Amino acid sequence: MATTLDHLNRLYGDTDDPWNFIDSPYEQQKFCATKDALTRGHYRAALELGCGNGALAQHIAPLCQSYVGVDAVERPLRAARNRVPDARFIIGCYPCPLPDADFDLIILSEVLYFLTPETIAHLCRDLTARAPRAEIICTTFLGDTELPLQGAEALQLFSSGMQDLLRLEHIVDAGQYRIDRGTMRQVL
């Protein structure tokens, strides 16, 4: 069975934009809806896991003092660095160490279903430890992912894994995707 990294390397084999993020009105509308789901106009530090070619970062990074994107494949990261030169983009296939910062915004846009249930549980522990008060935005594709996990299933695993520390609120239902938002609550 192919790994997630193998799958991503095949997708990005000939292009840095296999989903047509840059030219697709659907994708651009989804990025605008994700930005509109944010509760604040400015963030200290944002982390986007699965940032791809920086198409979403282009919308969100201007609102952030610091923006870090992580992706598993170098090809789209080169495009992201060119697209959003003031942001930082690093290679990593989760579960990899998350960058050190006091993140107050976490973006999980169409990335959870690339993970396994065990890796989602690991991500929940990582975010609880590293971003205890962050706003979390989950944008989830609702169609067939062609992966072992479907979007709604992955989102449910993430939501359950966060237990009482994060209550995700359903913000947007656009048919093909949904956007959920929540703020981490630190346990005293």
pLDDT tens digit string along 43-80? Answer: 999 999 999 999 999 999 999 999 999 999 898 999 99
Residue 58 CB neighbour total at 10 angstroms: 18
* Contact between residue 131 and residue 71 where contact means Cβ atoms under 8 Å apart: no
Q: Is the peptide bond before 117 cis (omega within 30 degrees of 0)?
A: no
What is the per-residue pLDDT for 188?
A: 43
Shortest CA distance to 72 belongs to which of 92, 48, 96?
A: 92
Between helix 151-161 and helix 117-130 the angle, nearest 10°, is 40
- The CATH number for 4-13+27-183, chosen from 3.40.50.300, 3.40.50.150, 3.90.420.10, 3.40.50.720, is 3.40.50.150
pLDDT in tens, 98-118: 998 899 999 999 999 999 999
The structure's pTM equals 0.91
At residue 161 the predicted structure's pLDDT band, cuts being 50, 70 and 90, is: very high
pLDDT in tens, 162-176: 988 888 999 999 999
Outline where 53-169 has alpha helix (H).
57-60, 74-83, 117-130, 151-161
What is the per-residue pLDDT for 163?
A: 83
